[in-house]
Amino acid sequence: VQLQASGGGLAQAGGSLRLSCAASRRTFNRNVMGWFRQAPGQERDFVAAIRMDSGHTYYADSVKGRFSISRDNAKNTVYLQMNSLGPEDTAVYYCAWGDGVITSNIYNDRAYKYWGQGTLVTVSS
């Protein structure tokens, strides 16, 4: 599975960006797609995830109420709508694809088998 992430760029604080992640193959019921981010000098952190069958979503506390993850199964694509951006959101954002990820592992990057190339989001203050 190849994942193609896009939509990163420069935003001002308080602004919005929308990331997209297209998978090269059809997503199946057990699949989970997620977003992680890595700021310079820091570890990769969970941002959000969505179950491709139920549409159930999961969010890191730091983005709840500001970010929204959604999916388009027909396009094998997930989106991350990011609103009220702040400088603390500056990072490389990675999309990831996992199969049969149980809920307790949703937040763990080791549970995801395939990764996109990353897209840089820079938020200026």
Tell me the average confidence (pLDDT) per consecutive run of 10 residues in the chain, 125 residues long. 94 98 80 95 97 94 98 93 98 95 94 95 96
Continuous H helices in 10-89: none
pLDDT recorded at residue 27 = 65
- Centre a 10 Å sphere on the Cβ of residue 25 and count the other Cβ atoms it contains: 12
d(C-alpha 42, C-alpha 40), whole Å: 5
| C-beta separation of 119 from 6 below 8 A | yes
Q: Note the pLDDT of residue 28.
A: 66
Q: Are 26 and 96 contacting, i.e. CB atoms less than 8 angstroms apart?
A: no
Q: Residue 36: helix, strand or coil by DSSP?
A: strand
